[in-house]
């Protein structure tokens, strides 16, 4: 009998097994190397904090009795698209180091800072911890953390500073982070004065327990100017009481507006559906602010989730001077001269718009805002929303909202005057 031929192994199978074995070995080696590298290169949050802080603060000694976990009640603020991630306190000096994130940057990104706030409520220094999507953050001056906002008191909202920089949106995110830190410092840490919180508390106390969980957003109109010397508060008042804050009070579909004014004592009038819902002691129907509310010189708007305010400071011969007021940090107050003439049906139609006070800063956003203003020439109350939606440009949304609010207020005033004259 012939001997059976021995069957040889499949060479392809052998090659495949060898390849898999080699790949497995490579993976094992890579995992081992990665583990070693991770052990060698890993930077803990504490080490990252120490490295960042060393750039701006010498000799930090953490206070062991101070919890770095932030107070959740004040750890976020939608106006700044921000949040506070951690807080540290120096045992020797009493200074606070606040890790604050600010949104509103380029491409919807953010910047996270370490902000040093002294026990005297002044900003001492800040440095960037990290950023998201800010590809031009290197255009922020290297010494910005020693110059921008340094020495400023955290008692009030801080205006945009971008001295020496050309990056509007990244600088905006930095500004929001600074203001997030300031907001936390005055509310959670009790630093400086907090007139806005005092006003908010007074509004809620006036409204009572039924409104305890309502959301309040605010505009400080004392600092908003309609020209180089006169504030909105001055323009609206011919007596000693100056308008200080506008509050948008809301929960679900229930919306109220609270106007806070007064020199020595706070006075409050709350309006709902065009009627007075509540008012504090000492408020008279003849008060200049109350008269202006119902003379439609103060306008409040809600565009989607955005609250905008406009104040009419002058109206003569179809030319309306109207201020769109900021909500949040940027932009600042816009003041427009809006010329309106009667259309064929007698309704107001915008024939000209001039931006007399530009609320933004030099850059692309300013150009976009100017284009939006030009596009609203020809607007009426019944088509301004369509024109706005068709012409607004990404990167200038807040400017567009305030410009629209100002134009819409002027049109409202024109139509109201014409209706009353009929």
What pLDDT shows up at residue 10? 64
d(CA 410, CA 301): 13
Q: How many other CB atoms sit within 10 Å of the CB of residue 253?
A: 5
Q: How far apart are CA 287 and CA 80, in angstroms?
A: 34
- Count the alpha carbons within 13 Å of 75 in the hemisphere toward its beta carbon: 11
Residue of 43, 183, 187 whose CA lies nearest to 115: 183
Contacts for 195 with CB less than 8 Å, ≥ 6 apart? 155, 156, 244
- Consecutive H or E run containing 169: helix 168-187
Mind listing the pLDDT tens digit for each residue in 16-33? 777 777 777 887 777 777
Judge whether residue 150 has pLDDT over 90: yes
* Integer angstrom CA distances of residue 225 from 273, 333, 405: 28, 7, 16
pLDDT of residue 230: 80
Q: Is residue 113 pLDDT above 80, yes or no? A: yes
Which range among 35-49, 112-126, 224-238, 294-308 shows the weakest confidence by mean pLDDT? 35-49
CA distances from 309 to 130, 193, 218, 362, 395 (A): 34, 25, 10, 23, 20
What is the C-alpha to C-alpha distance for residues 169 and 366, in angstroms, rounded to an integer?
A: 12
Predicted confidence band of residue 399 (pLDDT cuts 50, 70, 90): confident
Residue 327 has a pLDDT of 63
Is the pLDDT score of 422 beyond 60? no
Q: 0.85 exceeded by the pTM? A: no
| pLDDT at 349 (0 to 100) | 96
Map residue 130 onto helix, strand or coil.
strand
> pLDDT value at position 38?
59
Residue 204's nearest CA partner among 249, 244, 252 is: 249
Report d(CA 288, CA 241) in Å as an integer: 8
Omega cis (within 30) before 331: yes
pLDDT of residue 395: 65
pLDDT score, position 367: 78
pLDDT at 274 over 60: yes
Give me the pLDDT at residue 300, please.
87
pLDDT at residue 99, as a whole number: 96
Residue with tokens 């607007």: 379
Which domains occur in the chain, in start order?
51-187 (no CATH), 194-292 (no CATH), 296-422 (3.90.1010)
Return the closest-CA partner of residue 106 out of 132, 138, 79. Answer: 132
Distances (CA, A) of 65 to 61, 76, 120: 12, 24, 20
Instruction: Round to whole Å and give the CA distance between 341 and 410.
Output: 11
pLDDT, position 37: 61
Note the pLDDT of residue 141: 93
pLDDT band at 87 (very low <50, low <70, confident <90, very high): very high
Chain mean pLDDT for the chain: 86
Residues 142, 128 contacting (CB under 8 angstroms): no
Task: Express each pLDDT in 183-237 by its tens digit.
Answer: 999 999 999 988 888 898 999 999 999 888 888 888 888 878 887 778 888 888 8
Residue 145 DSSP code: H
Judge whether residue 396 has pLDDT over 60.
yes
For residue 32, count CB atoms less than 10 angstroms from its CB and return exposed for 0-12, middle for 13-18, buried for 19 or more: exposed
- pLDDT tens digit string along 321-378? 999 987 655 677 889 999 999 999 999 999 999 998 887 755 556 778 888 889 999 9
């Amino acid at each position: 009998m012939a001997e059976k031929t021995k069957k040889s192994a499949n060479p392809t199978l052998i090659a495949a097994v060898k390849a898999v074995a080699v790949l497995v070995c490579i993976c094992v080696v890579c995992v081992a190397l990665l583990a070693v590298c991770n052990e060698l290169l890993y930077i803990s949050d504490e080490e990252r904090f120490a490295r960042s802080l060393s750039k701006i603060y010498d000799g930090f000694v953490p206070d062991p009795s101070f919890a770095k976990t932030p107070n959740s009640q004040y750890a976020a603020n939608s106006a700044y698209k921000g949040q506070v991630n951690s807080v540290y306190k120096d045992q020797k000096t009493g200074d606070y180091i606040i890790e604050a994130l600010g949104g509103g940057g380029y491409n919807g990104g953010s910047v996270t800072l370490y902000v040093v706030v002294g026990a005297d409520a002044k900003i001492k220094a800040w440095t960037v911890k990290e950023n998201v999507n800010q590809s031009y953050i290197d255009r922020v001056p290297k010494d910005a953390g020693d110059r921008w906002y340094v020495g400023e008191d955290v008692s009030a909202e801080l205006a945009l500073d971008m001295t020496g920089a050309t990056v509007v949106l990244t600088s905006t995110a930095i500004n929001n982070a600074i203001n997030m830190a300031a907001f936390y410092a005055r509310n959670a840490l009790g630093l400086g004065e907090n007139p806005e919180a005092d006003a908010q508390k007074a509004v809620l106390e006036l409204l009572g327990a039924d409104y305890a969980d309502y959301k309040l957003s605010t505009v400080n109109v004392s600092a908003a100017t309609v020209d180089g010397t006169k504030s909105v508060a001055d323009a609206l008042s011919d007596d000693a009481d100056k308008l200080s804050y506008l509050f948008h009070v809301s929960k679900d579909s229930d919306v109220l507006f609270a106007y806070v004014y007064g020199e020595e004592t706070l006075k409050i009038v709350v309006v709902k559906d065009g009627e007075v819902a509540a008012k504090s002691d000492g408020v008279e129907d003849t008060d200049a602010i109350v008269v202006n509310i119902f003379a439609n010189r103060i306008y409040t708007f809600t565009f989607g989730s955005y609250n905008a305010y406009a104040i009419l400071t002058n109206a003569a011969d179809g030319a309306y001077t109207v201020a769109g007021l900021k909500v949040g940090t940027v932009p600042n107050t816009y003041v427009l001269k809006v010329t309106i003439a009667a259309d064929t049906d007698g309704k107001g139609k915008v024939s000209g718009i001039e931006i007399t006070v530009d609320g933004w800063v030099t850059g692309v956003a300013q150009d976009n805002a100017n284009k939006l203003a030009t596009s609203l020439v020809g607007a009426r109350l019944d088509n301004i929303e369509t024109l706005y939606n068709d012409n607004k440009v990404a990167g200038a949304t807040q400017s567009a909202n305030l410009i629209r609010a100002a134009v819409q207020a002027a049109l409202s005033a024109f139509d109201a005057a014409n209706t009353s004259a009929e």
